[in-house]
Structure formats: structure tokens, C-alpha cells
Structure 1
Amino acid sequence: MSQSTEPEDPSLVWRAYDTVTPGYRGRPDVEMNAVGWGLFLGLVILLVPLLPFLVVVWLVGKLLDAVVPTERE
């Protein structure tokens, strides 16, 4: 006697999958694309003014790494 988890009757799977709702057919989601682009452009507008500060912080970090080298094993 085997301990298989598969049903003995293949039609059982089809009966369990059978449903009264119609199948879903995908469509382009243009509305959410517009929302995504709006959020992206809003973030760009907010973050671009911070770019010079980020560059300064990066340059200070590079300068400190050059002046005070860390020991590596």
C-alpha cells in the first residue's frame, strides 16, 4: 500500500478546480500605470533638490577614507 498524496481518480482534481465564476482574462492596467508614474515623478521632484547634499556627504566620506585609512584583515 503506497502513501501517495495524489488522488486515485484524476477527475477529482477537475471537480475540485471547477468553479461557478468565469475565468479571469488579464487586461492592461492603465490607471495604475498613471498612479505609478505620478508617484515616481513626485519623488523625483522631492529628491532632486537633495542631490547636492548627498554628493557632499559622499565626498566627505571619500575624503575621510583617504585621510584616515581603516585596517583591513
Structure 2
Amino acid sequence: MSKSPDDDAGDSGRLPAALRSVTPGTRSRPNEGMDVIGWGMLAGLLVLLVPLLPFIIIVWGISKVTEMLTPSS
């Protein structure tokens, strides 16, 4: 086999310095669709968790009180 001039790997087992690609490079840009999905998920979680917050605090408080009252072994 003939050796390509672009073959920088050689016998050392190293990868070439730069890999070539046929696809043009892209710059980062905002993704409005995923942004809307993320905000929608946040709003849904807030709608579900804010009404449950008092109950979560009550259960947490009861567990702390019972933990203080029970003797540890």
C-alpha cells in the first residue's frame, strides 16, 4: 500500500493532528423549541410541587420530631 501524505499517524499509533470532515462547521445558536419545552417542564413541576410543599414540610417536621423523641441505640 502506498502511504498517503495526509497520514500523520505513522507507526507510532498516534492519531492525526486534524481530522477532515465534509460537513461545514456550525456555530452555536439558540434552540427556541427546546427552550419552550424546558420552560414548560419547569412550569409543570412548579404547578405540581408548590401545592404539595406544605404537606412535604409537615411530613418532614413530624419525622424530625419523632427522630428526636425516639432513643437512639
Answer whether TM exceeds 0.5 for this pair: yes
Match of 2:22 in 1: 20
> How far apart are residue 53 of structure 1 and its match?
1.2
Match of 2:42 in 1: 40
**Alignment counterpart, residue 69 of structure 1, candidates 65, 68, 71:** 71
Structure 1 residue ranges without an equivalent (≥5): none
Whether 1:6 aligns to 2:14 is: yes
DSSP 3-state at the match of 1:36: helix
> Which TM-score applies when normalising by structure 1?
0.70
Q: Which runs of 4+ in 1 moved over 3 A?
A: none
> How far apart are residue 50 of structure 1 and its match?
1.1
CA distance in structure 1 between the partners assigned to 2:71 and 2:47 by the alignment: 37
Question: How many residue pairs end up in the alignment?
Answer: 63
| Greater RCO (Cα-Cα under 8 Å, separation 6 or more) | 2
Instruction: Give RMSD over aligned pairs.
Output: 2.0
> Which TM-score applies when normalising by structure 2?
0.70
DSSP 3-state at the match of 1:55: helix
